Amino acid sequence: MTNQAILEISVECDTEAAEAISEIFNRYNGGDYDSDTEAGEASGGGAVIESTGFDDWGKPLAGEFRLWVKTYIKPGARGDEIRRQIEEGLGHLSAIYPIAEPQFRTFVEEDWANAWKKNYKPLRVGKRVVLKPSWEEFAPQPDDLIVELDPGMAFGTGLHPSTRLCIAALEEIVRPGDEVLDLGTGSGVLAIVAAKLGARFVLATDIDPIAIDVAVENAGLNDVPIGPEGQLEVVLGSVPTGMTDRFRVVVANILAEVHVKLFDAEYGYPPLAEPLAPGGIMILSGIIHFRADIVVDAATRHGLTLIDRKQEGDWVVLVVRKG
């Protein structure tokens, strides 16, 4: 088969913009639009996040930390349409949040197959958790918990402050034998961390079928047993029904407004506090700092008490207790 030219679109950005840019890439280039060829399977794969400039503990080095969000597109009429949609989406985003101009370059398929891997390195998040690309070698410390993730949004989310705050909170709160609910699991990274911290059972939910597939795949990479009788169950949906007072720990890394609507059962699911056991702890993240008060108010209305608040940059995690 003749090698094809693969178009790379990349945007250099900060960690906050990375999520929005990734959403644009995933929206317009998230599916395999020509699965008849190996290149078709490789392109159309959504967002890839690359970073450099971390120290051995996963902290950004001043003046050296750089972050790119990239996607790869096959040539042809469909590829041209995807490029146009992405450029329009980035243009709309730049009107509300300053981002760099996108950069374009072309790879021959054979060269592309390994070029995008070079900037992926193990990343320490929290005190013990290390997010590691599956192909990278890493010598762990005795207490390290290694979470293997392939790149894309699944790996990139570890860079975002809201995810780092969640992982740090899980390290402090999850105890061996706990039952944990991960609401809006996305890549499954928080559910996998909870399982590796010793949770007896983790239920991970998401309303996006693609996220369910990614979470299951990542759990498999980490040898976490999946299924109703396993350590981790991944299901399509949101707040589960029929599980009142079941989970000692609930973690939800979603937007502030969604937290409030879930507490008030506005989406037709049970109220967000319902599956949390009496005395249980809920970790609420994905909250921009100036929206934190509306989440605290909603939690308080439903019998939860704020016991901790952590902030990194503009992002906040709220830790609340039931009863």
CA distance 77 to 84: 11
The per-residue pLDDT for range 181-238, each reduced to its tens digit, is 999 998 899 999 999 999 999 999 999 887 898 899 999 999 999 988 899 999 999 9
Do residues 319 and 308 lie in contact, with contact meaning Cβ atoms separated by under 8 Å?
Answer: yes
Residues 6+ apart with CB under 8 A from 298: 259, 260, 263, 264
CA distance 234 to 205: 6
Task: State the chain's mean pLDDT as an integer.
Answer: 85
The two three-digit tokens of residue 86, written as one number = 């992405």
Q: Kindly state the average pLDDT of the residues 261-287.
A: 96
CATH superfamily placement of domain 151-322: Vaccinia Virus protein VP39 (3.40.50.150)
Backbone angle region of 213, left / alpha / beta, with phi > 0 → left and psi within -120 to 50 → alpha? alpha
Q: Kindly state the average pLDDT of the residues 143-167.
A: 75
- Walk across the sheet containing 123-125 and list its strands: 123-125, 129-133, 145-149
CATH superfamily placement of domain 5-115: ACT domain (3.30.70.260)
Residue 147 pLDDT exceeds 50: yes
The per-residue pLDDT for range 95-126, each reduced to its tens digit, is 989 999 999 988 776 565 566 666 677 888 88
Do residues 75 and 112 lie in contact, with contact meaning Cβ atoms separated by under 8 Å?
Answer: no
Residue 35 pLDDT exceeds 70: no
pLDDT exceeding 90 applies to what percent of the chain?
Answer: 53
Q: Indicate the pLDDT class of residue 61, thresholds 50, 70 and 90.
A: low
Q: Kindly state the average pLDDT of the residues 296-309.
A: 98
Q: Indicate the pLDDT class of residue 263, thresholds 50, 70 and 90.
A: very high
In eight-state DSSP terms, residue 240 is P
Q: Indicate the pLDDT class of residue 34, thresholds 50, 70 and 90.
A: very low
DSSP H or E stretch at residue 183:
strand 179-183
CA distance 286 to 309: 13
The two three-digit tokens of residue 65, written as one number = 């930390």
Residues 6+ apart with CB under 8 A from 115: 107
CA distance 318 to 183: 15
Q: Which residues pair with 269 in a beta bridge?
A: none
The structural domains of the chain, with segments of one domain joined by +, span 5-115, 151-322
Q: Cite the DSSP H helix spans in the chain.
A: 15-29, 38-42, 77-94, 109-115, 153-156, 161-173, 189-196, 209-221, 256-263, 292-301
The per-residue pLDDT for range 7-25, each reduced to its tens digit, is 889 999 887 788 789 889 8
DSSP H or E stretch at residue 72:
strand 66-73
pLDDT at site 296: 98
Backbone angle region of 301, left / alpha / beta, with phi > 0 → left and psi within -120 to 50 → alpha? alpha
With CA atoms as reference, report the closest residue to 206 among 223, 187, 231.
Answer: 187
With CA atoms as reference, report the closest residue to 190 among 132, 147, 238, 229.
Answer: 147
Q: Which residues pair with 47 in a beta bridge?
A: none
pLDDT at site 78: 86
